[in-house]
Chains A and B, each alone.
With several copies, the nearest count.
Chain A
Amino acid sequence: MDKLAFLLSEGVKNLWRHKLTSFSSIFSIFLTLIISGTLIIVSQNTSKVIEYLRDKYKIEVFFKNEITFEKVEEVVSNINKINGVRSTTVISKDDAEKIFKSQFGEDIMKIIGYNPLPISCVVNIVKDDTKTINIASIINKLKSFQEIDEINYQGRIISRIEGYYQLFVRLMTSILIIVFFISIFTISNTIRLTIYAKEKLIESLQLIGATRSFVKAPFIIEGILIGFIGSALSSLLLIGLLEFSYDLIYTYLSFKIEYDIKLLILTLCSLSIIISFIGSSRATARFLK
């Protein structure tokens, strides 16, 4: 017990003695964990985000002027059967009139006495992210309807956003890998500095008959402390940020972030233990013969 207390206090002293380098290790662990935490949350929400984005997909279809509303309804029911189409919303001539008003600031009925605008239909795409959507094939199928005059779609922009999202995930992953190794490196560097500063102590301990594990223990403890502080800080920040942004995002985008605090903290802690353990063993293995 007293031996353990001794080793622990030695570890804390080591940490404190090199406050500044310890701080940089804590910071790099912190960074690693923030990034991995973000990635965990992102991956938990990926399907929801893609669903959310696809919800905004729409293809606008304009029908020929002579087509009656009944005919339109028939065509729309066929459109609904196309693979990849989730739902459709028909925009009647009255709806179109309102859109015209908002676009041009004019009441078309007043000007020409009747409504020349065509019936149109908004085609919504399936939201489920497990299915990859081939917009082009849907467009081709729509074009095959003789009743359809023009097809407008913003699909390109939105699938580009989806692409950005995936790029972001991939980028974060690569950054995560980089900062992961940087963390290991800075931790082992910090501990190496401590080992340098304690050269005499280490030598004396070995001459006195301390086993290798006794000599190593304070350095391993130092590393674990650094890891612990880093993971505590990053968990706090992440949870704080989540709590804060949850309401914000819900209010502005009506998107509910999904997360599991227990899983998050657990993952961060185990990651930090892995990093600090590898980092400090690397330092002690290389510098304590």
Chain B
Amino acid sequence: MIQLNNLSYTFEKGGGVSNIEMSMQDDEFAFLIGPTGSGKTTLLRLIYMDLLPQVGNVIIGEYDSDGIKQKQIAFMRRKVGMVFQDYHLLEDRNLFENIALPLHVIGCSKDEIVDRVKDSLDEVGLGGKESHYPGELSGGEQQRACVARAMIKEPDVILADEPTGNLDPVTSFELIKFFEEINREGTAILMASHNYNLIKGRGHRIIEIRNGSIRKS
């Protein structure tokens, strides 16, 4: 369960979000939409506590942002899969190593890592590209790698920031279907997107943000 109570965060140079009041169930699938610069990424960063709120608090599962310790943030993040808008892939490690990193963090065994990375790469259609470095992948392939990395630790929640920006319509559609499948298995998904065509008419909740505030939920 994600719950945001009267959340505000303003950057020093201006911009940010204010008075966000929102909650999500454990098995919900919601879209976050809004024009560029409206605060979608900021909101997601607040949820996975990359930013800590200046006002209000975030509750995610058993973790409350109020007075949370660095170590607890780390443990919380192990249960959250994140797809970053700017990928955050490591340039000096190949695809396999990039995807394996979250498993090293939680301390999986070598064999398990090899198996799970292979499976998740196949799932997003990147099988056979294990040895490519991020610079040797197309934009869309990098984006899918990012999805695979978020998914590999089988998280309770997936926060995806514009995961289809560099995908063609067919691949985007496949990704949404894939997300829906995971959602059906009990993972909550919050996905920021500009792609109204992809979103509309799928029966999921749509949260609209404008100028840092939620307009309709």
Contacts and interface: CB of A to CB of B under 8 A. Distances in A.
A211 B88 contact: no
Nearest to B105: A210
A178 B202 CA distance: 70
Interface stretch (B1-9, B24-32, B68-76, B175-183): B68-76
A214 B109 contact: no
B107 A204 contact: no
Contacts of B75: 209, 211
The SS class assigned to the A binding surface is helix
Interface string B99-123: 0011011111110010000000000
Contacts of B113: 2
A14 to B, nearest CB: 12
Interface string A204-237: 1111111110100000000000000000000000
A208 B108 contact: no
B1 to A, nearest CB: 19
Contact of B71 (A1, A5, A207, A212): A212
B90 A209 contact: no
Nearest to A203: B88
Given A200-B90, A201-B90, A204-B88, A209 B77 contact: yes
B86 to A, nearest CB: 11
A145 B12 CA distance: 92
Contact of A2 (B70, B84, B102, B109): B109
A211 B71 CA distance: 6
Contact of B107 (A3, A201, A206): A3
> What size tier do the contact residues of chain A reach?
10 to 19
A207 B82 contact: yes
Contacts of B154: none
Nearest to A7: B104
A203 B106 CA distance: 16
B90 A2 contact: no
Given A3-B107, A201-B90, A214-B105, A208 B77 contact: yes
B105 A208 contact: yes
Interface string B201-217: 00000000000000000
A211 B50 CA distance: 14
Nearest to B150: A208
B74 A211 contact: yes
Interface of B: 48, 50, 70-71, 74-80, 82, 84, 88, 90-91, 101-102, 104-110, 113, 149
19 contacts: A2-B110, A2-B113, A3-B104, A5-B110, A200-B88, A203-B88, A204-B101, A206-B74, A207-B84, A207-B88, A208-B77, A208-B78, A209-B76, A209-B77, A209-B102, A211-B70, A211-B74, A211-B75, A214-B105
